[in-house]
Amino acid sequence: MISFADQVAVVTGAGRGLGRTYALELANRGAKVVVNDVGAATDGSDTGSTPAREVVAQIEAAGGTAIANSESIATPDGGAAVVDAALNNFGRVDVVINNAGILRDKTFAKMSVADFDAVADVHLRGAFCVSRPAFAAMKEQGYGRMVFTTSAAGLFGNFGQANYGAAKMGLVGLSSGIAIEGARYGITSNVIAPLARTRLTDGLLGEAGDSLDPRLVTPMVVYLASRECTLTHEIYAAGAGWYGRAFVGLTPGWLPDSGPASVEDIADHIEHIRREDGYLVPLEAPMLPPQPV
């Protein structure tokens, strides 16, 4: 059995939905859990700490250990306070699952700066503000597991969600940088792209929502957060009992036989450039292009 005994986990947005299932499963496997949730509506308004306290009560009733935290992660002070809650109460932080998020869906033509900033602040800035102090603690102890949350909207795009998609793809880049820098310190960083029935997806999934229980995503996330998982710098998708890997790759491309290419050369060879045969998945930003085939 994969155990989290003697480990401390921080889960943001853990008062409801996916985050709640992660917190409950980690606690069930022995982790001490910081349950962070501001208790906000789906658009980030009307904050309150009740959902976090309810999850803590459920964990404690089952014999586990957890504390509630209602700090907003969208500020450096708030993010640090979440990590400090783990350090001050339990002495360490082994796992961070960056799950918190809100929605402000609008078509791009109608999207305001406030709509963009509110979403980016919680998803991307919030993950940064929690992960930076957590990374420092993990680096000192020589061990850590980080899981970031992207989505299909981030990886592939979705109508009316340019702000959400931008923030979610930003999390992929954040995780990739942490994975590369954390490798020498025993810190892994991976990304989950969940598809589940939650408050954020309520009304969007139709009948398909019946098969998208959030608990079906949980095994993948908890595995990525475990000692047993030494994989890093990867993206996994999960939903409706299905699990897969997503990735950003490079085609072999095209290299002119001689001289720099012209615009017309690009037009003539665009299908060759686009061809996916022999693609590569770089482990870091390549300094040279792949060799053409």
Q: Which residues are catalytic?
A: 164
Distance in angstroms (rounded) separating the CA atoms of residues 7 and 93: 7
Distance in angstroms (rounded) separating the CA atoms of residues 216 and 234: 20
What are the angstrom distances between the C-alpha of 37 and each of 83, 94, 159, 174, 219?
13, 19, 28, 22, 21
Q: Nearest 5°: phi and psi at 141?
A: -90, -5
E strand or H helix that includes residue 168: helix 162-182
For residue 1, the Cα-to-chain-centroid distance in whole angstroms is 25
Instruction: Give the amino acid at 191.
Output: V
HSE-CB at 176 with a 13 A cutoff on CA atoms is 15
Instruction: Look at residues 233, 201, 209 and name the one whose alpha carbon lies nearest to residue 42.
Output: 201
